Amino acid sequence: MYQVEAALKTQKIRVLNYFTIILFPIISIATVIGVPLFGYLYGYTWLDWTLFGILYVATGLGITVGYHRLISHRSFTCSTPVKIALLIAGGCALENSALKWCADHVRHHAKVDQEEDPYNAKKGFWYSHVLWIFLKDPYADDKYTALFNKDKWVLWQHRYYLPIVISGLALPFLIGFLYSGWIGGFGAFMLAGMGRTFVVLNSTFCINSICHIWGKQPSGALNSSRDSWWISLITFGEGYHNYHHNHPRDWRNGPKWYNFDPSKWLIFSLFLVGLAKPVL
Ligand SMILES: [Zn+2]
Ligand SMILES: [Zn+2]
């Protein structure tokens, strides 16, 4: 089996990834059908919505500030507790460990719009948005992983990725359960666990699809990246993707003061209190 996989990788053949083919539809169906159905039958409490909001912001920023701007692009440095918090929050978004996510992301920048680009927008909206996750990537390359596998906290998060993901789903259930029993636990799990995971996944996916198809290119048209201010509203500032592709080491994605970039505001706040430093 292992030899077959190695041969397919050598021949650059994309085979189905049954794990994601099963997992993603479960999350999608739970969100699109289960979440409204539970709301209709039992209703959601203020606590369910609060947990949804907190976990949406925390896990979203874990990806944008942690996985993306801190680990992938090393646009700033920060204290170890902040780094651990960002790695845990990012892990709860169910977008792979930072080791894998960041290796994929650096390859996206290096090979943008080419066959080796993991979420190549030249293959169309749906491929770059979500279909790419259903295929094993024969172009995954250890040379990109090697950029991150000397970081002990990235390796720690990779090792404990599964318990981190489970904690992110168990936490809303536990809080809801303590508040109002089994129904409370299940309601919080549906909204702040399943629903929140689906929304954060799709907001990240929008960067790879929408921000490579529609929008302006004020920083240059050397690749398909686009600026889309309205995508920034749901992705904590990552919609200024054309600027980002042209200035990947900048801790800001929206460089102007009025650009909606909450990730930049969080990083700047960390600078102010001495918990982080800019690199450039
Ligand atoms: Zn991109
Ligand atoms: Zn990037």
CA of 99 to the centre of ligand 2 (A): 14
Residues 272/257, Cβ–Cβ less than 8 Å: no
pLDDT of residue 13: 86
Distance CA 238, CA 203 (A): 10
CA of 3 to the centre of ligand 2 (A): 33
Ligand nearest to the CA of 128: 1
Ligand nearest to the CA of 101: 2
pLDDT of residue 262: 98
CA of 113 to the centre of ligand 1 (A): 9
Residue of 253, 264, 262 whose CA lies nearest to 227:
253
pLDDT of residue 11: 76
pLDDT of residue 12: 81
Residue of 56, 128, 119 whose CA lies nearest to 92:
56
Spans of the chain below 50 pLDDT: none
Q: What residues form DSSP beta bridges with 240?
A: 227
154 alpha carbon, distance to own chain's centre: 15
Structural domain boundaries of the chain? 11-278
Ligand nearest to the CA of 108: 1
Distance CA 15, CA 37 (A): 35
Distance CA 10, CA 74 (A): 31
